[in-house]
Structure 1
Amino acid sequence: MNGPLWMSIAFVGCMLIGVPIPWAAGVATVIGLHIIDIPFTLLSQTAYNAFESFPLMTIPLFVLAGKLMEKGGMSEHLIHIARKMVGSLRGGTSLVTIVSCGLFASLTGSGPATTAAIGSITIPAMVDEGYPKKFASGISASSGALGSIIPPSNLLIIYALIAEESVPKLFLAGLVPGFMVILFLILTSTTVCRVSGFGGKVDDDFSFRPLLRALWEGKWAIGAPLIILGGIYSGIFTPTEASAVAVFYGLFVGIAVYKKLTVGNVIESLKFTTTMVGTVLVILGSTKAFGQLVAFYDIPLAVQGFFTGFTDNPFLVLMMISFLYILAGMWMESIPQVVIFTAVLLPVVKSMGVDPIFFGVLTVLTCEVGFLTPPIGVNLFVSSRIAGISLEESSVGVLPFVVPYIATITILCAMPWLTTGVVEMFFK
């Protein structure tokens, strides 16, 4: 019997009738195991091995740290800094949203969390200033997606676990693409505002003195990424230890410095983290077993033959894979997408000489586009709820801001050294 065929039919069929991705992967895995007569204990053993990974601890700790920092008032200080940086330009509040999300992304590692933290403040401000609600929702959703590429990124951590690659290298490789997306988002937002005739300045002409004052007032907020990433790359602590440091830093600043973190906020942050991590573990356990079975059936070899049947040009293959990821992201959540497709496609691109660190960054970038596409666009749900509009309206508003991500993906596929070059400078 054709195991891969029946697994594919089961997986797709389950998704079409609304079965959650983890259970769909589990059903497909059970069918694959039954066909080749492997004990079903492989599911539990694989899940246990996935949960046993020490770097997995970084995800709940970074999620908790980001939530504590949000509740502790750091997001407000980051928005104030961003306002002094770009508030004097056309479309000031939209640009403040982009820069604030970029800054907050370095605290949390989650796209939806970044959208919620910054969008809850800037979307109402943009609406009050006359921006269309769909534009405000679109720019917040697209900027919030930066939380998944700018380190510390939960998706990069998950990719590192599946691909058995270095978390610090992946974090470092995500910096240049993150800055590229920020730049392209700023250019797109400024162009849309000029053409459409909305969005004025929200601050006086740029001056270094107010910016320096804002930086000083927000020194505890901008100190978080400096301590986290600085500690990792200086060798003071590992990424897992850095996530624990981030939690204590968030507690200290929120309670002792900004004095906005209450017992209720801490409990709410713990509940949010528990829900988030529980979801991640369920997804990771079943999809990791599915990925192992995919490798057992030599599906990557068949996929490689499919791509090379069209072309053996690495750039074209990477663009085809990116299109596949974006298409799948319209229907799949990002975590199972990373786990399943990494198991299938990483061996394919490695055989073509593609650096797995670069491929991890490309994977996460394409997943970010999935955050912005219905019907599973998580960022769109968050931003549309804040703006008080339908998902359809939010989807229209985000369309111009998908272009910066597509442009970044295309440039990186053509010039992978933009990511790997930075890594090689630090890890010789």
Structure 2
Amino acid sequence: MNGPMAMVGVFVFSLAIGVPIPFAAGIATVAGLIIADIPMTLMAQSAWTAFEPFPLVTIPLFILAGQLMEQGGMSERLVKIAHQLVGAYKGGLGLVTVVACMFFAALSGSGPATTAAIGSITIPAMKNEDYKPRFAGAIAASAGALGSMIPPSNLLVIFALVTDVSIPRLFLAGIVPGIVLGFMLMGVVFFVSLRNGYGGTGERFRWRPLGDAVWEGKWALMAPVIILGGIYTGIFTPSEAAAVAVAYGLFVGLFIYRGLTWAKLFYAFKFTAIVIGTVLFILGSTKAFGQLVTIYDIPESILTLFQGILEHPWLVMLLIGIFYIIVGMWLESIPQIIIFTAVFFPLVTSIGVDPVVFGIFTVMTCEIGFLTPPIGVNLFVAARISKVTIEEISVGVLPLLLPYVAMILILVFYADWVTFLPDLVYGERTP
């Protein structure tokens, strides 16, 4: 165990002195290679292997598509539709934020992007209606995290690449948990708003304004129908769907809503390049890290560590969930998935946990990481928009964490419903 302990020690020490995560993983991997007397060429070979899978192209394409749709004016149309649906009720703008995030999640595939796109519109409006700024920002941050669950989800794609689980099955499995979680968030927003007297015009719901908003936003609503419908009907693969999403976002943004300018296009491409460059660097360095995990037989050691409780899969999942949530407070979601899936995936599949369920479970715990300091990306995005400190918004988000914790407990104790849609469309998975 000298090698694994040395790797962990080097990795933790590197993070403690401020070394960025990809470099920390790379340094720890080099330490492991030296101890195991393995040629350094493994690093290059691992990076090549990590970049080789063709489905990897879906990540930059979905990121670019989300940016084009945000910059092109789709988010404003979705907010208008949501406002006509739930805006008149107590906490109306808070409910609008959650519903709009659910809509935009089906376009962006990213939690922080969803928070930024919808929060930039609804947070100032909530503040004008005397919502506490920290609560307004917390609503956008917590609802924005749905962007990593409701398909197309970049985190689910990463999990699929690491584990070879079917991307379409994971996408289908994320739909119901994402929608249920959205309704749970709406319940919390409603009760907090009712208690504090936030919002609510008292106007009766009317079909005509909703119909007008839907008609105006029909191009935005059609995006998830075309993208996800094409995947599930077999018209195109997830990779092709990502390319279709980019083309659709460009077409609508340039010729229908005409919100895309040269400056916005440049920003969208620049943002995508920065994000995918970071992702590739993390993927390359942590792929070798994952291979060393296997070489050192760490999964077998983890299995031995859990040996006394293997007859209680719920307890194993609960402990992994607690570990993921704690780690997610300090580690970004993508490296968290890549590094620890290699450790825990063999364990959970050996005790009968469905790989698709574990994928949803993993991403759900990552969403809590989006909402907990000091690394909570959604909190930083929402805090910047709402102009409050990270400490203030961390307090405001506390009641909105309850639905996420409840969903994790549901996944631990009763998860068969998660695979209902994938099994319905593609048939039950053979063990």
Displacement of 1:302 after TM fit?
1.3
- Does residue 299 (structure 1) correspond to residue 298 (structure 2)? The answer is yes
Counterpart residue number, 2:98:
98
Counterpart residue number, 2:242:
243
For residues 222 and 49 of structure 1, what CA distance do their matches in structure 2 show? 37
Counterpart residue number, 1:222:
221
- Which residue identity does 1:346 align to in structure 2? F
Give the 5 Å matches for 1:4-403: 4-195=4-195, 197-202=196-201, 204-310=203-309, 312-403=311-402
In the alignment, structure 2 segments of 5+ residues that lack a partner are none
Q: Does the aligned pair in 2 maintain the 1:84–1:203 contact within 8 Å?
A: no
What do the CA deviations read for 1:381-422 (whole angstroms, capped 9, x no partner)?
000011111100010011111111111111111111121121
Displacement of 1:215 after TM fit?
1.2
For residues 198 and 300 of structure 1, what CA distance do their matches in structure 2 show? 52
Q: Does the aligned pair in 2 maintain the 1:83–1:203 contact within 8 Å?
A: no
For residues 103 and 408 of structure 2, what CA distance do their matches in structure 1 show? 21
Name whichever of 9-18 and 64-73 sits farther off: 9-18
What do the CA deviations read for 1:79-127 (whole angstroms, capped 9, x no partner)?
0010111112110000000010110010010111110110011110011
For residues 59 and 204 of structure 1, what CA distance do their matches in structure 2 show? 42
Displacement of 1:310 after TM fit?
4.3
**Given the two structures, how large is their TM-score scaled by the length of structure 1?**
0.98
Q: Secondary structure at 1:90's aligned position in 2?
A: coil
Counterpart residue number, 1:410:
409
Displacement of 1:272 after TM fit?
0.5
Name whichever of 26-35 and 311-320 sits farther off: 311-320
For residues 181 and 41 of structure 1, what CA distance do their matches in structure 2 show? 45
In the alignment, structure 1 segments of 5+ residues that lack a partner are none
For residues 39 and 308 of structure 2, what CA distance do their matches in structure 1 show? 35
Q: Secondary structure at 1:174's aligned position in 2?
A: helix
**Given the two structures, how large is their TM-score scaled by the length of structure 2?**
0.97
Displacement of 1:170 after TM fit?
0.5
For residues 408 and 387 of structure 2, what CA distance do their matches in structure 1 show? 31
Counterpart residue number, 2:420:
421
Displacement of 1:289 after TM fit?
1.0
For residues 352 and 168 of structure 2, what CA distance do their matches in structure 1 show? 21
What do the CA deviations read for 1:268-303 (whole angstroms, capped 9, x no partner)?
100010001001001111111101111111111111
Q: Does the aligned pair in 1 maintain the 2:313–2:351 contact within 8 Å?
A: yes
Paired positions, count: 427
For residues 414 and 209 of structure 2, what CA distance do their matches in structure 1 show? 38
For residues 21 and 188 of structure 1, what CA distance do their matches in structure 2 show? 35
For residues 400 and 305 of structure 1, what CA distance do their matches in structure 2 show? 37
For residues 187 and 419 of structure 1, what CA distance do their matches in structure 2 show? 21
Moved over 6 A (4+): none
Q: Does the aligned pair in 1 maintain the 2:310–2:351 contact within 8 Å?
A: no
Q: Does the aligned pair in 2 maintain the 1:78–1:103 contact within 8 Å?
A: yes
- Which residue identity does 2:69 align to in structure 1? M
For residues 263 and 31 of structure 1, what CA distance do their matches in structure 2 show? 46
For residues 262 and 405 of structure 1, what CA distance do their matches in structure 2 show? 38
- Which residue identity does 2:149 align to in structure 1? I
User: RMSD across aligned C-alpha pairs, in angstroms?
Assistant: 1.1
For residues 203 and 326 of structure 1, what CA distance do their matches in structure 2 show? 40
